[in-house]
Structure 1
Amino acid sequence: MEFLVNIQISWPHGMDPEHKESVSQEERRRAAELAASGHLVRMWRVPGRTENWGLWQAADPTELHTIISSLPVWPWMTVTVHSLATHPVDPTPR
């Protein structure tokens, strides 16, 4: 299944900058692993915000939850998920 996922990050005020940088580096490593495994298909940044939209693949919503919650930034995320279905006029060959 494909999912369109919006992730907003709210870092706590006063968070230790070194800890924040460490978590951010871990996040990039984990995202690269998820991309290599085919779960993270595409990612777009929302300019001027700590927010992104991504196209994710998972067997079902439960697997997607497991994948998203494995991200190091998970404790500071607000996540909105939209399940996607094939559209009959989608021009992309499948």
Structure 2
Amino acid sequence: MEFLVNIKIEWPADGDPERWARIVAEERAMAARLAEAGHLVRIWRVPGRRENWGVWRASSASELHEILSGLPVWPWMDLTVHPLAWHPADPDPHDPRPESPIGLGPAG
């Protein structure tokens, strides 16, 4: 399954900057591992904010929760998760999904 995830970081204004630097380094290292494992597909920064949008893959919403709650910045995250489904007008010709059993294109 794919999910569109919006993550807003609510780090306290009086938070320790050294701790923040460590958390950011840990977060980037974990993001690289999650990307390598196929869970983090794409990610975009929202300019001027501690916020991002990403496409994530997991076998279920429960697995996605386990992944996201394991992130170092989890205690300061405000999340919005949108499950995604395949659309028959998707222009991606590289979509790897097999044909639908009812002949309407790739299965969703």
Q: TM-score range by the shorter chain?
A: over 0.9
Measure, in 2, the Cα distance between the counterparts of 1:89 and 1:71: 34
TM-score, normalised by the number of residues in structure 2: 0.85
Aligned AA (1:31): A
Structure of higher RCO (CA pairs closer than 8 Å, 6+ residues apart): 1
Aligned AA (1:49): R
> Is 1:31 the equivalent of 2:37?
no
Alignment match, 2:80? 80
| Segments ≥4 residues shifted beyond 3 Å | none
> Is 1:70 the equivalent of 2:70?
yes
1:10-49 correspondence to structure 2 within 5 Å? 10-49=10-49
Tell me how far 1:46 sits from its aligned partner: 0.6
3-state DSSP of counterpart to 2:66: helix
Aligned AA (1:74): W
3-state DSSP of counterpart to 2:31: helix
In structure 2, list runs of 5 or more residues that go unmatched: 96-108
Matched residues, number? 94
Pick the structure with greater CA Rg. Answer: 2
% identical equivalent positions: 63
